[in-house]
């Protein structure tokens, strides 16, 4: 008889439940959230497991990779599906979550999630750290502008380098403001130095990553956008069609059809928000800046803008860019020669 297991992962200990093919609970336990402990517990059962499920989360990819390497039939579950399945549960606990995940594995009512490679996770971590420091820099600058504005001191337009000098110029002769500016600008200087260091590191990574270099042949796609998309896609071979890029990144409309009701809503916004943001920024640049090599894309998007507005045109162009970039990775073909390649040209036209 087949057996199935569910794991509800927590920081210190994970709840584990094993059920048989009839749904009867065979074994339950609390196991340390470490790969060795979980693998050892499953090996001690004395029987093989048809499927082991755990919900995607911060620790899940690490545990999944180790258990998969050890030969266990483990699946990473989409969080949204698991959450919807648990909505009818009157009592929520780690133990009940593990039980329900085990039942989902037994019934097969789940959607597996791709576990990113270690390289993709490292790139994503670097981009996340860069974005965090960039946001804190902006927070400090905005806070200082707001403080000085209350005293009638207007900072005006500055650059990252000239910001500190402009603040010191404005607060000269105001003891309280000088103290505030000195402390805040000291933090700003540290953040700016670290941000510049990460910026150089990210740009160097984009030149060393073959997939990122390939994607940068696309108009308006630079190091940040290319690394963001490449790390999110990770393995292009897992997609049967390049059109899957739209739903993957939440750039396709929601649809509701029931009886006589049938309508399409706004985009779903499922999946990776950072990829959506990067693609939207690239689409914005194409539509608002004079970029070479993107005349067909820009003309296509402008026709949408005339009938539906610029915002929807940018979203549509972002989706098209996602499809094109996934096809580029699947075929290992740069963007520029697309017009010379009939197969790629047809793909771009249908995107």
Residue 235 forms part of a structural domain: yes
**pLDDT tens profile 204-225:** 999 999 999 999 999 999 999 9
214 part of a folded domain: no
Is 292 a residue whose pLDDT tops 90?
no
Query: Residue 141 in contact with residue 163, Cβ under 8 Å?
Result: yes
115 vs 316: CA distance, rounded Å = 28
For residue 234, being part of any structural domain is answered with yes
Note the pLDDT of residue 344.
Answer: 41
Q: List pLDDT tens digits, range 136-194.
A: 999 999 999 999 999 999 999 999 889 999 999 999 999 999 999 999 999 999 999 99
Total domains present in the chain = 3
Is 90 found in the same domain as 122? no
Characterize the bridge pairing of strands 261-267 and 253-258.
antiparallel
Phi, psi of 173 (to 5 degrees): 90, 0
User: If you average pLDDT over every residue of the chain, what do you get?
Assistant: 90
- Using CA of residue 286, residue 229, residue 225, residue 337, what is the dihedral sign? negative
The domain in which residue 241 lies consists of 219-255+271-350
Residue of 335 and 351 predicted with greater confidence: 335
The answer as to whether 322 is a domain residue is yes
Distance between start and end Cα atoms, the chain: 47
pLDDT at 337: 42
Confidence band of 261 (pLDDT split at 50, 70, 90):
confident
Main-chain phi, psi angles of 29, to 5 degrees: -165, 165
Task: Based on the fold, state whether residues 142 and 199 are members of the same structural domain.
Answer: yes
Pair of tokens at residue 192:
């700016």
Q: Determine the average pLDDT of the residues in 232-260.
A: 90
**Closest listed residue to residue 293, CA positions, set 197, 189, 216:** 216
The answer as to whether 264 is a domain residue is no
Distances (CA, A) of 285 to 212, 281, 288, 296: 19, 6, 5, 15
Q: 80 and 42 in one domain? A: yes
Mean pLDDT of 319-328: 95
- Give the pLDDT mean for 339-349: 44
| Other beta carbons within 10 Å of 196 | 12
Give residue 82's pLDDT.
86
pLDDT for 336: 58
In a domain, 263, yes or no: no
Burial 128-158 (b: 16+ CB within 10 A, else e): eebbebeeebeebbeebbebbeeeebebeee
Tell me if the pTM is above 0.75.
Answer: yes
197 and 246, same structural domain?
Answer: no
Q: Are residues 156 and 79 in the same domain?
A: no
What is the per-residue pLDDT for 245? 93
Residue 314 lies in a domain: yes
**pLDDT-derived band of residue 327, with 50, 70 and 90 as boundaries?**
very high
What confidence score (pLDDT) does residue 260 get?
Answer: 78
């Amino acid at each position: 008889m087949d057996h199935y297991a569910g794991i509800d992962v927590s920081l210190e200990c994970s709840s584990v439940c094993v059920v048989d093919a009839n749904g009867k609970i065979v074994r339950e336990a609390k196991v340390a959230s470490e790969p060795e402990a979980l693998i050892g517990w499953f090996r001690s059962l004395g029987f093989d497991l048809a499927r082991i499920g755990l919900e995607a989360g911060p620790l899940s990819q690490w545990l999944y990779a180790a258990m998969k390497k050890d030969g266990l039939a483990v699946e990473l579950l989409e969080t949204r599906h698991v959450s919807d399945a648990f909505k009818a549960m009157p009592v929520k606990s780690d133990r009940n979550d593990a039980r329900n995940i085990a039942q989902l594995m037994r019934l097969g009512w789940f959607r597996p999630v791709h576990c990113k490679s270690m390289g993709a996770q490292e790139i994503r971590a670097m981009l996340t750290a860069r974005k965090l420091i960039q946001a804190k820099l902006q927070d400090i600058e905005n806070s200082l502008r707001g403080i000085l504005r209350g005293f009638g001191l207007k900072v005006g337009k500055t650059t990252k380098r000239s910001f500190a000098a402009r603040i010191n110029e404005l607060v000269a002769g105001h003891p309280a403001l000088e103290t505030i500016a000195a402390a805040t600008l000291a933090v700003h200087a540290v953040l700016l130095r670290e941000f510049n260091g990460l910026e150089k590191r990210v740009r160097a990574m984009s030149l060393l990553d073959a997939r990122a270099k390939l994607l940068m042949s696309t108009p308006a796609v630079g190091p940040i956008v290319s690394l963001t998309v490449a790390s999110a896609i990770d393995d292009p071979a897992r997609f049967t069609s390049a059109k899957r890029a739209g739903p993957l990144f939440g750039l396709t409309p929601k649809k509701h059809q029931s009886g006589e009701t049938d309508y399409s809503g706004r985009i779903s916004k499922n999946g990776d928000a950072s990829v959506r943001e990067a693609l939207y920024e690239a689409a914005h640049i194409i539509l608002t800046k004079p970029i070479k090599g993107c005349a067909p894309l820009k003309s296509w998007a402008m026709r949408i803008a005339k009938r539906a507005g610029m915002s929807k045109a940018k979203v549509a162009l972002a989706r098209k860019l996602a499809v094109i970039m996934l096809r580029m990775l699947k075929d290992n073909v740069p963007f520029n020669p697309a017009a010379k390649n009939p197969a790629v040209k047809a793909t771009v036209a249908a995107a």
